[in-house]
Amino acid sequence: MANGSDSARRRTLTVFLTQGCAGLLLMLWITWLRFDQTTLILHRLQPDAAGVIVILIAFATILALLKFELTELIFVSLVLTAYTVIIPILGVVISSWLAVLVAGFARVLALKQIGPAKIESTDRLGDRIKTFGLFGTYGIPVVAAATLYEHLNGELPLAHATFAAAVKIALCGVVLSVTNILLMFRVAQSYGYSLRKIIRIDGVDFAIYLLTVPYAVMTAISFAALGWSALVTLAFSGSVAIGVARNFAKTRIKSQQQLQRIASLTNIGKTISLRYTTEELLDAIYNECKRSVDCTLFTIALLEESTNELSFELDVRDGVRLPKDRIRLGEGLNSWVASHHEPLLIGSVADEKRIGVRAVADTKPTESWLGVPMIARDRLIGVISVESFNKNAFTNDDMLLLTAIANQAAVAIENAHLYKDLEGLTYALEQRVLERTNELRETNLRLLAADRSKNQFLANMSHELRTPLNSIIGFSSVLLENTRAVVPQRLYKFLENIHVAGNHLLELINDILDLSKIEAGKMELRTDDFDLRDTITAVERVMKGFAAEARVSITASIDPSVPMVRLDEGRLKQILFNLLSNAVKFSPDGGPVTIAVKSLPRTTSPLAVDSVRIDVADRGIGIPPDQLQRIFDEFYQTEEGRRARRGGTGLGLSLTRNFVELHHGRIEVQSVPGEGSCFTLYLPVNYDAAAATLPIAIAGVGSRVSGVGGAAASATTPDSRPPTPVRSLHQL
């Protein structure tokens, strides 16, 4: 099998190498022949030549990155659409070199796991040869299509929008696609695809490309008629449309995968309710797992407590069922899962030392490994594991699915054992398990229905309440402005109450919807670069009017070293408004409220990145120590707070904490009853950089609070230890 694999690899690389050499020689020859023509084209494009070339390069690069996956090894790239536009504008020489460079750049990014399309790099030499083969894959088709355009007396550069020009461009595009398909035919054969599959793949590829030919023709013609501005508009619109279509296709595939996963879980649930023998159960589990997870190498090991061994009751390799085997608990990946009662996900062999686990050596040089414990009623039944020769072959979704299957399978296997040992009691026990399973399923369905109802209710009410509320607020505002002199004071006070109550209700609705979005994981930050000084000034300006009514002064101090920040400015303002509003409400007459801002280097920041610290302090009623842990809960207000102010829903601090944690930040509070409170925010200077470097757990750090005497309590954070990698089957 290894010799066959090496032979296939050599055959594939030979195809890419020969095509790359042919393409490079052809491009060098055509460059020498058309040198004068290229110079003339650039001269005619002046003074916009450089700008047009940049626009076309950007257009082609975007389409090259937005690949559609046809198979695991073959992609369809609509970059040919961009090349169809480029040929009548830049000619054969520039178009062919640009095509190869753009395709090569996109492939390099994919190999480095950058961009929307990613390629797993397992063979450096092979990847380089395949990249060199782009001279043939794209260079030869572009030269062929451009040569046809010249023989049809196509205008270079295209300057007149005529029907004849459109036909020539369309023919050029068809030849470009056909030539590319013919070249990829040999590549597909070298990958081992059958003729039928190649024809089906090429047919889909060609059909998709033909749909874009009219767009390519229109884009090229628009340049001739309207210039580079029209080219920019159509190129941008096309890129957006293709990106949306690509995302839609990926979403559809993911939805199908999720449906398959749900079906697998349902089938496993049915298996539990049936009287299978242990062997039948194992086969059923394997058949359901392979519907959704790569089960090329699959094992189910059951724990023998009496001998402290794992018995591999099912061991499948490439569809072949191997004889049963036993291994004592000790080293290995299956043993680690059995000992810790936790799933283990390993992306590559290189991860083993980093995670601190060790696989049992065998003859299978696998890279990825995923194992989950089979637990029933807090008792370990065994371990289900899958392996792959590819790196990072399994995801967290696979782990969740396999865990759910394993838990249900554990119940089924335990029931089968009970049936064998205690035949007289098995029927009653299975009935109870079935009832419990049905109850859990029904409860789950009710919870899902309740959750959907809640979300639908919030969505409907946000529309149904906001519409009349906006009218009430708007009309009451108009009445307040125009009826002061004609309406009695008592009635005018009613109008003020209507206006205030309407705004308060709208604020409550908005807060509840924000919390619902955060809970559903649909809250997204819109980051931008801005000056924190301007933001603080704007917030201070708005709050000073509110503070003046309460006879409270607001003072802001900003360290000159505070840099520009990249955060969600709208959410930051909402955070500051909430904190300052509370500080003003709880401050006595004449009591000062201060807001201080300074920068923290990563060495001193609790976030371990360059940060800004914002302190909002007051000298109000303070917060009792026993309630510091609860002030960030939804709808919670202290007794002193309810007595000291009017209004308020108890949502402000909860939203504040959630917005801070969404920024990968941290909020702390220190307070002494009767002396005041100080809320401290730590926010990264650059959210995008922090999101890429900080561990996921930082977003859930929670709030740290301290009371009298500096006593502090921290919310616990989830264990952010990385998953554990493994190598092969009997990875005990």
DSSP string covering 323-342: PPEEEESSSSHHHHHHHHTS
d(CA 557, CA 594): 8
Supply the pLDDT for residue 478.
78
Lookup: tokens for 645: 């102010």
Residue 553 identity: S
Counting as low any pLDDT under 50, the low residues of the chain are: 1-4, 70-74, 646, 696-732
Supply the pLDDT for residue 282.
80
Q: How far is CA 214 from the centre of its chain?
A: 33
Supply the pLDDT for residue 529.
92
78 conformational bin, left if phi > 0, alpha if psi -120 to 50, beta if neither: alpha
Residue 545 identity: G
Is the distance from CB of 34 to CB of 93 less than 8 angstroms? yes
**pTM score of the predicted model:** 0.44
Supply the pLDDT for residue 727.
34
Is the distance from CB of 671 to CB of 641 less than 8 angstroms? no
d(CA 372, CA 121): 27
Q: Does a cis peptide bond (omega within 30 degrees of 0) precede residue 47? A: yes
Domains, the chain, with CATH or none: 2-256 (no CATH), 274-421 (3.30.450.40), 443-520 (1.10.287), 528-701 (3.30.565.10)
Q: How far is CA 2 from the centre of its chain?
A: 37
d(CA 106, CA 65): 6
**Residue 320: partners with Cβ closer than 8 Å, 6 or more residues away:** none
Supply the pLDDT for residue 513.
67
DSSP-derived letter for residue 385 is E
First vs last C-alpha separation in the chain:
26
Supply the pLDDT for residue 417.
67
Supply the pLDDT for residue 728.
36
Rg of the chain over Cα atoms, rounded to whole angstroms, equals 33
d(CA 634, CA 653): 8
Residue 536 identity: I
Give, for 375, the enclosing helix (H) or strand (E).
strand 368-376
Is the distance from CB of 102 to CB of 60 less than 8 angstroms? yes
d(CA 233, CA 218): 12
Residue with tokens 């839609």: 248
Supply the pLDDT for residue 97.
92
Give, for 613, the enclosing helix (H) or strand (E).
strand 611-618
Among residues 231, 226, 229, 202, the alpha carbon closest in space to that of 215 is found at 231
Is the distance from CB of 676 to CB of 620 less than 8 angstroms? yes
Q: Is the dihedral of CA 344, 347, 349, 350 positive or negative?
A: negative
d(CA 98, CA 138): 10
Task: Name the CA dihedral angle for 564, 566, 571, 572, rounded to a multiple of 10 degrees.
Answer: -30
Lookup: tokens for 704: 């740290």
Residue with tokens 């991860």: 351
Is the distance from CB of 158 to CB of 41 less than 8 angstroms? no
